[in-house]
Amino acid sequence: MEVRVFPDAYGAALYTATLVETTIRQLSSPVLGLATGGTMIPVYQHLVQFHRRGLRFEHVTTINLDEYIGLEPTDRHSYHAFMREHFFDHVDLPLDCRYIPSGATCDLTAACQAYDEILRAHPIDLQLLGIGVNGHIGFNEPADHLKPHTHVVELTEDTIRQNARFFDAEERVPTRAITMGLQSILFAKRIVLLAVGASKAQAVREAIIGDIRTTVPASLLQLHPQVTFVLDEAAAQQLP
Ligand code: F6R
């Protein structure tokens, strides 16, 4: 496992974006696993800037980690809307090469199976991850058991509270989500986890030097042969 610490969040996001850029330039048909959340916004801003300076996305496929259940893709709080606002609307990524789980369907089992088919057909070259203050990755929340494949998850109170900042009120945050599972995440050839800010310091410490356990889903990344943690100093403050 590689750990890169930058003086500030700007440097960490810029470095993360350059890792994505390198993958896009090196591969003829790269598949990116993408995350949403506040941490990722500056990464997408950098990628959009790179695009304005010539980086092309026309040969890229993207597969997002998760989506809230019950929100239409047109809902401004959905992760579909997040991706359009911060990334898709500003780059030349083909419409039919962007995958996000469908959280607005009545047949969630079929939606999960369909997403696993997509993942099987498009092995991920570079998986971008954020981390929850409780150590979640994607929406794989701390639990006694973790699921390997795409599944429906009940969000924890911690996560609902954290994500309330994106909604008008905490009561508006959906309580369930559909997320890629741990096996699918760990199947990516390379994983880059970006964490910034002191609120992530404990989760980062437990993920990197704690025991591997399902109550800290990010600690399972220790099992992967090519993981890079990209941190600012605040997120790295509890590391030895
Ligand atoms: C979202 C996702 C989540 C976030 C995590 C951190 O697609 O995968 O695991 O990465 O909740 O969110 P922020 O960056 O908002 O702190």
Burial-class residue 121 by CB neighbours within 10 Å (0-12, 13-18, 19+). Answer: exposed
pLDDT at position 211: 98
Catalytic site positions = 66, 134, 136, 141
Give 117-162 pLDDT, tens digit per residue: 999 999 999 999 999 999 999 999 999 999 999 999 999 999 999 9
For ligand 1, say whether the CB of 42 is within 6 Å of any of its atoms: no
Token reading at 174: 């959906």
- What's the 39 CA to ligand 1 centre distance in angstroms? 7
Rounded distance between C-alpha atoms, residue 37 and residue 39, angstroms? 6
Residue of the nearest CA to atom 11 in ligand 1?
Answer: 132
Rounded distance between C-alpha atoms, residue 236 and residue 158, angstroms? 21
Counting other chains too, the contacts that 154-160 makes at CB distance below 8 Å and 24 or more residues apart are 158/132, 158/133, 158/134, 159/132, 159/134
| Atom number in ligand 1 closest to CA 179 | 8
Q: What is the mean pLDDT of residues 60-75?
A: 97
pLDDT at position 28: 98
Mutate to test the pocket of ligand 1, among 69, 139, 179 (most ligand atoms within 8 A of CB): 139
Residue 236's pLDDT band, with cuts at 50, 70 and 90, is very high
For ligand 1, say whether the CB of 36 is within 6 Å of any of its atoms: yes
Mutate to test the pocket of ligand 1, among 34, 36, 45, 196 (most ligand atoms within 8 A of CB): 36
For ligand 1, say whether the CB of 116 is within 6 Å of any of its atoms: no
Q: What is the b/e burial string over 165-176, where b = at least 16 CB atoms within 10 angstroms of the residue's CB?
A: eeeeeeeebbee
Residue of the nearest CA to atom 1 in ligand 1?
Answer: 36
| Atom number in ligand 1 closest to CA 35 | 7
Mutate to test the pocket of ligand 1, among 69, 127, 128, 131 (most ligand atoms within 8 A of CB): 131
- What's the 106 CA to ligand 1 centre distance in angstroms? 25
Mean pLDDT, the chain, integer? 97
Residue 217's pLDDT band, with cuts at 50, 70 and 90, is very high
Give 75-125 pLDDT, tens digit per residue: 999 999 999 999 999 999 999 999 999 999 999 999 999 999 999 999 999
Q: What is the mean pLDDT of residues 161-186?
A: 95
For ligand 1, say whether the CB of 37 is within 6 Å of any of its atoms: yes
